[in-house]
Amino acid sequence: MTDTLATLGWTPHFARQVDLDDDMAPTRITAVHRSRLDGLQAYGTVSLSPTAAAGLYAVGDWVIATGAAASEPLDRTTAITRRAAGEESKPQLIAANVDTLGIVTSCNADFNVARLERYLAMCGASGCMPLVILTKADLVDDVSDYIRQAERLSPLLTAIAINAKDDEDVARLSPWCSNGQTLALVGSSGVGKTTIQNRLTGQIDTTQDIREDDAKGRHTTTNRNLRATTTGGWLIDTPGMRELRLVDAEEGVEDVFGDITDLAAQCKFNDCAHQTEPGCAVRAAIEAGDLDADRLERWRKLERENRFNTATVGENRAHMKRLQKMYNEGKERGAAKRRR
């Protein structure tokens, strides 16, 4: 069983958190519904009832099932969040325990360093390892310049250029989604996420011969949220993953712009805005040609956006806590009533 759990992504990080009895089954969450959780256990799929508010679970989470009841999520290794769409922004958990975030961009029109930096900052905040996937390599003469531009952004970063329509090329992504490893893809519409995912999971393109697929009943067994790859790993693909915005990425911004934050620490004034202040180490670096003025501008923009988002997210964390408390109290009242 332990082997099977490992292929689901169970690691010592999770094992340490529980003393497993015979009637307790570690379960990886594959879908979160209003009052039900779908999951995968060592021996198959299950449907569980949550013991915490549904909003506190995410696809990719690990819970412990006792009978049909799911525990609260175990401590995550990583968590991807976003601001929900609309006026009132609540932090929304998109996915948990994603090992690698594949940032997908194409080698042509979509390639944009500022956008990559945003995704990298988000990746840093989530705790995932970044992998930049440059698609449509077949449409440009030389990919090396794109790879260089991407890899320059962070020492943690690997960039791979592929033709997403080529099986051998896509197979180069398998180290990030085998041995129980979980990969999730982000990127603009049309960059090739679906094309890559279909190849990694061995599914034919949805644009091809859907009828044949239906006849085999494959659609009914396909789980869109957490899908097995052909190489023994996992892909998380939820509608939320496709609409990610920067949330709470302060830590991430520091990772990506470490050079600027290091410089800023050397400014004469603590609250230096790097505009006209004397003794500004950031401006000195620009004048000396050590720092790109555009990069400073991108940092400012990201910082501003991030500060705005973080404030609203902070308020909403408190809201989540109150929600959980209300939920627990309601549950206790219900249980007390039933006892009477």
Ligand X SMILES: Nc1nc2c(ncn2[C@@H]2O[C@H](COP(=O)(O)OP(=O)(O)OP(=O)(O)O)[C@@H](O)[C@H]2O)c(=O)[nH]1
Angle between helices 293-339 and 113-126 (to 10 degrees): 40
Which span (162-170, 227-235, 298-306, 315-323) binds ligand X, by CB under 6 A?
A: 162-170
What does the per-residue mask of binding to Zn ion show for 206-245, with x meaning CB under 5 A?
----------------------------------------
Token pair 């090329």 is at which residue? 169
Site for ligand X in 172-201 (CB under 6 A): 187, 189-195
Shortest Å distance, C-beta 189 to ligand X: 3
Rounded CA gap, 118 and 298, in Å?
9
Rounded CA gap, 306 and 300, in Å?
10
Give the number of other Cβ atoms within 10 Å of residue 321's Cβ: 10
Token pair 């693909």 is at which residue? 237
193 is in an annotated binding site: yes
Shortest Å distance, C-beta 311 to Zn ion: 23
**What is the enclosing helix (H) or strand (E) of 187?**
none
Rounded CA gap, 295 and 11, in Å?
39
Q: What's the full length of the chain, in residues?
A: 340
The secondary structure of 244-285 as a DSSP string is ----S-HHHHHHHTHHHHHHHHTSSSTT--SSS-TT-HHHHH
Shortest Å distance, C-beta 266 to Zn ion: 8
Rounded CA gap, 231 and 110, in Å?
29
Binder among 115, 224, 242, 245 for ligand X (CB under 6 A): 242
**What is the enclosing helix (H) or strand (E) of 11?**
none
Kindly determine how many residues on this chain lie close enough to bind Zn ion according to the rule CB under 5 A. Answer: 5
Helix (H, G, I), strand (E, B) or coil at 23: coil
- Residue 272 in the binding site for Zn ion (CB under 5 A): yes
Q: Which is nearer to ligand X, 97 or 195 (CB)?
A: 195
Shortest Å distance, C-beta 96 to ligand X: 22
Site for ligand X in 99-158 (CB under 6 A): 135-136, 138-139
Binder among 5, 93, 153, 267 for Zn ion (CB under 5 A): 267
Please give the sequence-ordered ranges of beta strands (E in DSSP) within the chain, or none if there are none: 24-32, 37-41, 44-50, 62-66, 69-70, 79-83, 91-96, 100-106, 129-135, 158-161, 182-186, 226-228, 234-236
- Residue 165 in the binding site for ligand X (CB under 6 A): yes
Site for ligand X in 282-301 (CB under 6 A): none
Rounded CA gap, 308 and 153, in Å?
24
Binder among 226, 280, 285, 291 for Zn ion (CB under 5 A): 280
- Residue 36 in the binding site for ligand X (CB under 6 A): no
Which span (14-22, 32-40, 121-129, 161-169) binds ligand X, by CB under 6 A?
A: 161-169
Instruction: Assess contact for 200 and 237: CB atoms under 8 A.
Output: no
Q: Which is nearer to Zn ion, 123 or 280 (CB)?
A: 280
Q: Which is nearer to Zn ion, 46 or 264 (CB)?
A: 264
Residues making up the annotated binding site are 135-138, 187-195, 267, 272, 274, 280
Residues of this chain that interact with ligand X (CB under 6 A) are 135-136, 138-139, 163-165, 187, 189-195, 242
Residues in the annotated binding site for GTP: 135-138, 187-195
Name the residues that contact Zn ion, by CB under 5 A: 267, 272, 274, 280, 282
